[in-house]
Each structure stands twice: as C-alpha cells, then as structure tokens.
Amino acid sequence: MIVFKNISLHVHRQTLLDGADLSIALGEKAVIRGPSGCGKSSLLKSAVGILPLASGSIAVDGQELSAETIGGIRGRIAFIGQEPVLGADTVREALLLPFSFKTHRGNRPPDDRVLEALHDLHLGEEILDKPSKRISGGEKQRIALARALLLGKDIFLADEVTSALDPESKAAVMERLFRPGITLLSVSHDPDWIAKCNRVIGIENHRLTEESA
C-alpha cells in the first residue's frame, strides 16, 4: 500500500532519516513514536510530497511518488497535520471546498450528510458559520478529518490528532480512524492511541525500527 524504500530526509541540513525502509499494508494501523525532532512528522509529510526526499523512493499502490503522480496520490491520501490549513474563510466553505473542483463536483454531499460527519466527530452545526481562523487546532483537525471522510478517502496520515481533544472527542476520532477499511500511518504519544495500533515504529540512528507497544 505505502512503501518507503531506502529514503533519506534532511531538514535544515540535519539528517532525520538515512536509508530508511517501511511498508504499510492495506488496512494496517501503524504509529510512529520517538523524541521531538527525530523525523516523525517529516516522514508523514514526505509521503504526500510536502517534504522532498534527499534520496530513495515512496510508492502508493505501486505508483511511485513523482511530479507527475503527486496529484493522484494526494487525491487518495488524507494528511491531517497538527495545524491544518483549511483553505477557506468559513468552516462551511472549507468542508465543501473540494466539491467545487471538477474531480468531485458531482459528489457534493447533501446537508444532512455534512451534519452527520460533524456529529460523528463531536462538532456542532454552529461551527459551520465560524471563521476558519477562529477555531481551535483540535477543531481544525476534526474539520480536515470530516472533509476527508466526506471525500471517501481511506488512507490517512495523522499527526498527533488527539493531543488537543477531550476524552469524548478523542474517542470519536479514534472510532472513525480505526475502522477495518482504513489504512492509517500516524504520529502519537497518546498511550490509548498507541495501544490501538497493530504496529509501533520507532526511529533509531536515522532508521525506522519495529517496537513493541
């Protein structure tokens, strides 16, 4: 499903990963943990081309990430960062933004489906009319997640998406992302999240290593 092959990542002249390999299979729930600055978030960003590789390759379903394929790969993967950019003035506009583009124009969800997606993530209808810049980081992450779910995405890269949530909201997010049909590669320090994952991955000496939960 997602294959990182012999990748090297450098940020501000610092080597984060060097010759690292990782394969995430369909439906797997994997979490990366480790000290701050070791390259966890950078690995997620590299999978959607936000951070370019110094060397190596990344492939999704056998399709190697490149300038020619990046659009299609980003169309399949939902990247939920720690501070998502929603790309619109209001939350309603942000949720429906992808459906204004040609690829998804015929799939705009009805209002009741939008409200259901919000409710599933412990968000009230009133958030729709709020300015995107006035909602919290945790709310932005859940809006980005709701948008990806409305688009029918099933591959998620999630970076600390429970760190700013109350227990009920955290449970709601986990319920959506730990379903059998979802492939999940995540970064988290949350013991509950880590316990739900079937793989725990560490970073040691600039390589990716398998750990026990």
pLDDT digits (tens, 9 = 90+) for 131-182: 999 999 999 999 999 999 999 999 999 999 998 899 999 999 999 999 999 9
Query: How high is the pLDDT of residue 101?
Result: 80
Question: E strands along 132-182, which residues?
Answer: 155-159
pLDDT the model gives residue 95: 93
Overall pTM > 0.85 = yes
Position 153, amino acid: K
CA–CA distances in Å: residue 29 to residues 9, 109, 180: 23, 28, 9
- Confidence at 211, pLDDT banded by 50, 70, 90: confident
Strand duo 77-80 + 155-159: pairing = parallel
* Assigned CATH topology for domain 2-211: Rossmann fold (3.40.50)
The residues spanned by each domain of the chain are 2-211
More confident residue, 131 or 102: 131
Q: Parallel, antiparallel, or unpaired for β 29-33 and 55-60? A: unpaired
Q: Which residues, in sequence order, are CB contacts of 13 under 8 Å at separation 6+?
A: none
Instruction: Give me the pLDDT at residue 198, please.
Output: 95
Q: What is the dihedral of CA 194, 31, 117, 97, to 10 degrees?
A: 150
pLDDT(213) > 70? no
